C-alpha cells in the first residue's frame, strides 16, 4: 500500500499562536513520518480579510518561516504558496457550479460574521469552495485541521459528491478530517478558544519577557490557595500541553489537594513554553537571514504540487466536457 497523503493549509494573517501550533502545525510536522505531506500558505484565502498587499507578503514570509522553524522538512513535505498555483481557482469555479447556496449559508464561519454585524462579501461566502478546491485537487486521504475547520471538511465532502454525481465520474475522493481530540481546542488567556480575533493568544515566537507577562495575566477563578483547584480552567489546560502524562497526574493531584497557588503554575508554564519553542525560535532566526532560500522552498513546492494536481484537474475538466475533446473522441464517429 502506498503512503497516506495529507493536505492542509494555514492563512497568512499574523504570527502563529500556540493554538495554531497544537491544533494544526504540530500535526502537519508529525505526519511527515507516515504521510506524504502537502502544506500551503493560503494567501488567496487571506484576501477575504486582509487588503494590505505589503502586509500580505510579510505574513506569507512569516508563515513560511514559522512552518520551517516548526520542523516542516521540505525534503520530505511540500510547502508552497497558494497563489503560485492559480489552477486552484479554476477548480474553485468547477466546484462552485455544483455547490448549492444553502450549503454555503450553513457555514459557521459565514454565520458568525453575519451575527457579528458584518456584511460579508462574495469571497467570504464562497470561501469554503476555495478550500474544497485546495483539498480535492490532490485527492488526499486526510486533512489535519483544528476542530473549528471540521465543518469545512464536511462541506468539501459534499461538494466532491455533488461533482461526482453531476458528471457520473469518480473524479474526487472524499477526504477525512484529522483532528486530535486531546488538543482539539486550545484555550486563550481569557478561557475562550485561543484566537487571533479575540486578543487572547499566546504567540509561539514572542520574546520570553512578553510571553511571561501574558502568561501571568491568564484569567483564573478566585479560589483561595489552600482550597482544591478546578483543573478545567484555561491555566491548567494550557499547562498540560507542555507536560508529560506523569507530570500532569502529579500536578492535578496537587490541585485536587489544595495548597497550590496559581502564580506557581503560571511561572512554571511560562518557563515550559519558552523552553518548548526555544530551539524553534533559534532556527527561525537562522532561516530569516536567508530569505532567498525560503523563496526557493516555496517555488519548488509549487512545482511539485502542480505535478500532483494536474491529473486531477484534467480529469475534472474531462468529466465536465471542458476544453478540446480527447484525441480518441475526435476521431470517433
Q: Which of 18, 64, 143, 204 binds ligand TRP (CB under 6 A)?
A: 143
The values of phi and psi at residue 143, to 5°, are -130, 100
Residue 123's contacts (CB-CB under 8 Å, 6 or more residues apart) are 47, 48
Instruction: Provide the minimum distance between the beta carbon of 227 and ligand ADP in the complex, in angstroms, as a whole number.
Output: 29
32 binds ligand ADP (CB under 6 A): no
Q: Which of 7, 12, 20, 175 binds ligand ADP (CB under 6 A)?
A: 20
Nearest CA-CA partner of 183 in 223, 238, 226, 134? 238
- Contact code string over 158-187 relative to ligand ADP, x by CB under 6 A: ---------------------------xx-
10 binds ligand ADP (CB under 6 A): yes
Locate cell 506569507: which residue? Answer: 60
Burial of 46 (0-12, 13-18, 19+ CB in 10 A): buried
Q: Give, as one character, the DSSP assignment of residue 289.
A: T
Is the CB of residue 184 less than 8 Å from the CB of residue 146? yes
The values of phi and psi at residue 241, to 5°, are -65, -25
Q: Which of 60, 69, 124, 131 binds ligand TRP (CB under 6 A)?
A: 131
Bridge partners of 7, per DSSP, are 38
So which residues are the catalytic ones? 113, 193, 196
195 binds ligand ADP (CB under 6 A): yes
147, three cell numbers: 476542530
Instruction: Provide the minimum distance between the beta carbon of 232 and ligand ADP in the complex, in angstroms, as a whole number.
Output: 16
CA 134 to the chain's CA centroid: 12
Q: Which of 12, 23, 37, 175 binds ligand ADP (CB under 6 A)?
A: 23
Instruction: Provide the minimum distance between the beta carbon of 46 and ligand ADP in the complex, in angstroms, as a whole number.
Output: 9
Q: Which residue is nearest to ligand TRP (CB)?
A: 9
Instruction: Provide the minimum distance between the beta carbon of 23 and ligand ADP in the complex, in angstroms, as a whole number.
Output: 2
* Smaller CB separation from ligand TRP, 143 or 251: 143
9 binds ligand TRP (CB under 6 A): yes
CB burial readout 197-207, b (16+ within 10 A) else e = eeebbbbbbbe
149 binds ligand TRP (CB under 6 A): yes
193 binds ligand ADP (CB under 6 A): yes
Q: What does the binding site for ligand ADP look like in residue numbers (CB under 6 A)?
A: 10-11, 19-20, 22-24, 145-146, 148-149, 185-186, 193-197
Amino acid at each position: 500500500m502506498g503512503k497516506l497523503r495529507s493536505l492542509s493549509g494555514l492563512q497568512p494573517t499574523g504570527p502563529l499562536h500556540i493554538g495554531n501550533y497544537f491544533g494544526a502545525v504540530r500535526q502537519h510536522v508529525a505526519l511527515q513520518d507516515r504521510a506524504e505531506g502537502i502544506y500551503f500558505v493560503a494567501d488567496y484565502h487571506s484576501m477575504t480579510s486582509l487588503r494590505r498587499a505589503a502586509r500580505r507578503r510579510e505574513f506569507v514570509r512569516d508563515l513560511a518561516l514559522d512552518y520551517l522553524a516548526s520542523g516542516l522538512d521540505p525534503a520530505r513535505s511540500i510547502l508552497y504558496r497558494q497563489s503560485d498555483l492559480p489552477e486552484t481557482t479554476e477548480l474553485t469555479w468547477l466546484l462552485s457550479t455544483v455547490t448549492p447556496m444553502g450549503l454555503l449559508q450553513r457555514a459557521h464561519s459565514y454565520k458568525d460574521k453575519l451575527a457579528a454585524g458584518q456584511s460579508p462579501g462574495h469571497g467570504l461566502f464562497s470561501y469554503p469552495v476555495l478550500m474544497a478546491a485546495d483539498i480535492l485537487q490532490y485527492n488526499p486521504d486526510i486533512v489535519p485541521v483544528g476542530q473549528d475547520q471540521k465543518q469545512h471538511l464536511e462541506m468539501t465532502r459534499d461538494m466532491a459528491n455533488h461533482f461526482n454525481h453531476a458528471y457520473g465520474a469518480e473524479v474526487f475522493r472524499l477526504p477525512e478530517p484529522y483532528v486530535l481530540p486531546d488538543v482539539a481546542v486550545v484555550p486563550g488567556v481569557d478561557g475562550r478558544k485561543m484566537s487571533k480575533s479575540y486578543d487572547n493568544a499566546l504567540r509561539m515566537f514572542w520574546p520570553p519577557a512578553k510571553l511571561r507577562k501574558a502568561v501571568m495575566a491568564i484569567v483564573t477563578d478566585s479560589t483561595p490557595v489552600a482550597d482544591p483547584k478546578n483543573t478545567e480552567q484555561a491555566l491548567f489546560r494550557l499547562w498540560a500541553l507542555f507536560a508529560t502524562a506523569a507530570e500532569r497526574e502529579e500536578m492535578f493531584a496537587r490541585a485536587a489537594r489544595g495548597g497550590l497557588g496559581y502564580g506557581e503554575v503560571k511561572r512554571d508554564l511560562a518557563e515550559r513554553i519558552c523552553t518548548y519553542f526555544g530551539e524553534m525560535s533559534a532556527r527561525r532566526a537562522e532561516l530569516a537571514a536567508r530569505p532567498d532560500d525560503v523563496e526557493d522552498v516555496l517555488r519548488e513546492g509549487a512545482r511539485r504540487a502542480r505535478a500532483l494536481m494536474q491529473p486531477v484537474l484534467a480529469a475534472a475538466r474531462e468529466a465536465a466536457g471542458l476544453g478540446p475533446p480527447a484525441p480518441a473522441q475526435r476521431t470517433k464517429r
